Structure 1
Amino acid sequence: MALRGTNQEFGRPYNRRIVLESIRLHGPIARGDIARRVGLTVQTVSTIVRELEEHGYVLSMREEPRGRGLPPATLRINPEGGYAVGIHVTPLGVNAALINLSGDVIESTYREAPNATPDHAFDLIGAMVLELTRLRPGGRVLGIGMALPGPFGVESMSFIGPTTMTGWKDVALRERLEASTGLPAFFETDMAAAAMGERLYGLGTGYSEYYYLYFGVGLGGVMVHDGSALRGAWGNAGEIGHIPVVPGGEPCPCGNRGCLERYLSLEALRRRNISDADWVDEVGPIFRNAITIIENLFDPETIILGGLASTDLLERLAGSVANLPNSISARKDRTAPRVTVARGGQHAVLRGAAALAVSGVLSPRFGQIFTAERERGRDILQGKGIAA
């Protein structure tokens, strides 16, 4: 999907985000190339770029002349022009990272906190954010994004069982996060955050249509379509772990029996208490059937395995699909593997969570989903942000 400028209401801040996103995706890039990509005049782009330079979001550079005339100045994102904090809350503890505008992890930290209550978790988050932001004194911290297991708002499935956090039902997540950190706050399911982290900074940059299969304590997945995560009517699309696959199988906390994540997840591996290699052999048929289901439902270019599982475990799983059943993905003309392993690593969740916070500045499409209402009437690029 092409990013295009607009002359509609709120067009000025929107156009600045369009230009900034184009620079982030395609920089170093000249003003004329930006104008052609986003459908704005060169004069409009030049005015926007001047503002972005003044606020420190982008840097301009010019190559040495190789002939007559000066080459056009090109623009790129200023990595130190701003920061965001990514948070990942799991049943095991809290991960946090300070991330710059280029997606580089400046520093990360972890606090073990099994089944942390909301009060405990938000106290930890407040202390961790203070520790991280002190690494860049005076730096512009745009906001904080938090990823945690979903789904949200489903009576029989939200914050129930070993794959989620007991006691978190009806917690005002955004309000509590803002109160504990003093930063503009956003939240998302961990699988969607990981999928977008991989899209922005990992293997997903090479694909426009892929499925991200998230191995956490539970199992989830997200279809990334044209660079955006498909979220569903209530933002809970992707709960593949709760597809019943074994009739009369193990009871699941969701109320059903034989759900996929009862057999295929880190929690399932822990309960079996066997080696990774033995477990992969044991769950191989279920895993291969799950891959076939995903392919027939979504027709992805590839399925990327990621999440909290170790790279070694993910590689073992990917290596077990040599004899996949037929599906619509079993094409002779395909160039990508049907299953591959994420490159973003376990930081993908934190990067995706941080992207929630910077999306209002960097990504018009993504940012509109989460920030349109709260930003109506204010222009985030004109503000100074929040200094650490």
Structure 2
Amino acid sequence: MTLRGTNQGFGRPYNRRIVLESVRLHGPIARGDIAERVGLTVQTVSTIVRELEEQGYILSTREEPKGRGLPPTTLTINPDGGYAVGVHVTPLGIEAALINLDGDVIASVHREAAHATPDQGFELIGAQVSELMRLKPGGRMLGVGMVMPGPFGVDSMSFVGPTTMNGWQDVALRERLAEVTGLPAFLGTDVAAAALGEQLYGLGAGFSDYYYLYIGVGLGGTMVHDATVLRGAWGNASEIGHVPLVPDGEACPCGNRGCLERYLSLEALGRSKLSEADWVENIAPIFRNTVATIENLFDPETIVIGGLASAALLERLAGTVETLPNSVSARRDRTAPRLLVARGGQHSVLRGAAALAVSGVLSPRFGQMFTGERQGVRAPLPGKGIAA
């Protein structure tokens, strides 16, 4: 999968981000190779590269000549060219990480805070971000991205039940985040952030069309197509956790019965009082049907399973799909397994949250692809100034 440049009206900031991403993914790389990869002219790439070099985001090097002529200058990302903080707010606590421009996690901090109120949460976030920023006193802090569970803007589902943040509705989240951190602030959903983190730093870079299944306190997922998270009309596309797949099943806070996240989530594992192995054995048929349902709905190249679940638990779940039901993905010519365990680990959410800030600062349009904005229309979400 290759990100491509554009000649549309928002092209300049978008192309800037695409060139920077190409350097990060493929560096050291020459200007001509970037132009070929992203579909822009060498002149356009050279102009963008000059700006990025002057601003310290990328570095250029030239090998020693080995014969006649000078070897081409190659470009690499400058890891210390900028930093962003990713923040993940869950019903269990708040985690934050300082991440450099190359996606490396410099440090992370976690605070247990079960069902924190907004006042408690933002006090913790302010302290966490200050602690992390002190690690790079001379570094350029680009911004902070905060993500939290969805769905948003749905009366019967948003901010209700054990998997969501009670009391955070109608709070000016972006403004409060900017106030307590002193940084440009960006908001999103944890599922979209995890998919973005996996897209940029994990398995997702190898696929054009894949589904990211997020095992967290609840259950979420999103389809990624050509590096774009498909958001839907209101930013809540693919709310897989509230698909009522079990007839006459357990009551869900959303008002339905048999919703998937009542069976397949960390909250469900905790309620079961079972060991991980026994729990996985119990819910394996539901998990296999979930995989087949996703495949029939989205026809992905593969399903990438990740989230807050431990690597061991994800591997256990992946081990149950040796005998999957038939679906449109049961093809003889497929080259990837039908399900893969995410490579980015539990830091994918934080990397994705930080990437929202980097994208929002360096190229607003690129960031909008992951935050639900399109053609100047913002998806309606809870609170003032939040993007999903």
Give the TM-score taking structure 2 as reference length.
Answer: 0.91
Which residue is 1:383 aligned to? none
Output one character per residue of 1:238-266: Cα deviation in whole Å (capped at 9) or x when no partner. Answer: 21010001222111000111111111111
How is 1:94-173 mapped onto 2 (pairs within 5 angstroms)? 94-173=94-173
Measured after TM superposition, the shift of residue 87 of structure 1 is 0.3
Letter in 2 for 1:315: E
Is structure 2 residue 89 aligned with structure 1 residue 89? Answer: yes
Is structure 2 residue 302 aligned with structure 1 residue 305? Answer: no
Q: Is the 8 A contact 1:17 1:363 kept in 2?
A: yes
Which residue is 2:80 aligned to? 80
Measured after TM superposition, the shift of residue 170 of structure 1 is 1.2
Output one character per residue of 1:256-304: Cα deviation in whole Å (capped at 9) or x when no partner. Answer: 1111111111111100101111111111111111010001111111111
Q: Is the 8 A contact 1:20 1:362 kept in 2?
A: no
Is structure 2 residue 350 aligned with structure 1 residue 357? Answer: no
Letter in 1 for 2:4: L
Letter in 2 for 1:104: D
Letter in 2 for 1:295: E
Which residue is 1:282 aligned to? 282
Q: Is the 8 A contact 1:215 1:308 kept in 2?
A: yes
Which residue is 1:68 aligned to? 68
Is structure 2 residue 231 aligned with structure 1 residue 231? Answer: yes
Which residue is 1:385 aligned to? none
Measured after TM superposition, the shift of residue 362 of structure 1 is 5.4
Q: Structure 1 residues 245 and 17, CA, compared in 2 at 3 Å: closer, same or farther?
A: closer
Measured after TM superposition, the shift of residue 32 of structure 1 is 2.1
Is structure 2 residue 340 aligned with structure 1 residue 340? Answer: yes
Measured after TM superposition, the shift of residue 322 of structure 1 is 1.1
Q: Structure 1 residues 215 and 289, CA, compared in 2 at 3 Å: closer, same or farther?
A: same
Measured after TM superposition, the shift of residue 21 of structure 1 is 2.8
Structure 2's unaligned 5+ residue stretches are 377-388
Is structure 2 residue 248 aligned with structure 1 residue 251? Answer: no
Which residue is 1:384 aligned to? none
Q: Is the 8 A contact 2:305 2:339 kept in 1?
A: yes
Structure 1's unaligned 5+ residue stretches are 376-388
- 2: distance between equivalents of 1:357 and 1:278? 40
SS at match of 1:346: helix
Identity of aligned residues (%): 75
SS at match of 2:345: coil
Measured after TM superposition, the shift of residue 41 of structure 1 is 3.9
Measured after TM superposition, the shift of residue 305 of structure 1 is 1.1
Q: Is the 8 A contact 2:292 2:324 kept in 1?
A: yes
Which residue is 2:385 aligned to? none
Measured after TM superposition, the shift of residue 359 of structure 1 is 0.8
Give the TM-score taking structure 1 as reference length.
Answer: 0.91
Letter in 1 for 2:147: A
- 1: distance between equivalents of 2:138 and 2:347? 25
- 2: distance between equivalents of 1:253 and 1:184? 35
SS at match of 1:176: helix
Which residue is 2:181 aligned to? 181
Which residue is 1:206 aligned to? 206
Letter in 2 for 1:53: E
- 2: distance between equivalents of 1:126 and 1:152? 24
Which residue is 2:31 aligned to? 31
Output one character per residue of 1:213-261: Cα deviation in whole Å (capped at 9) or x when no partner. Answer: 1001110011111111111111111210100012221110001111111
Q: Structure 1 residues 9 and 207, CA, compared in 2 at 3 Å: closer, same or farther?
A: closer
Which residue is 2:4 aligned to? 3
Letter in 2 for 1:87: V
Measured after TM superposition, the shift of residue 366 of structure 1 is 2.9
Letter in 1 for 2:218: G
Q: Is the 8 A contact 2:88 2:96 kept in 1?
A: yes
Measured after TM superposition, the shift of residue 363 of structure 1 is 5.7
Q: Is the 8 A contact 1:159 1:168 kept in 2?
A: yes
Output one character per residue of 1:44-87: Cα deviation in whole Å (capped at 9) or x when no partner. Answer: 43333222112110000112323221110011110100000000
Which residue is 1:380 aligned to? none
SS at match of 2:332: coil
Q: Structure 1 residues 92 and 50, CA, compared in 2 at 3 Å: closer, same or farther?
A: same
Q: Is the 8 A contact 1:188 1:353 kept in 2?
A: yes
- 2: distance between equivalents of 1:120 and 1:147? 16
- 2: distance between equivalents of 1:372 and 1:162? 28
Measured after TM superposition, the shift of residue 372 of structure 1 is 8.0
- 1: distance between equivalents of 2:169 and 2:199? 30
Q: Is the 8 A contact 2:14 2:366 kept in 1?
A: no
Q: Is the 8 A contact 1:21 1:363 kept in 2?
A: no
RMSD, aligned α-carbons: 2.0
SS at match of 1:304: strand
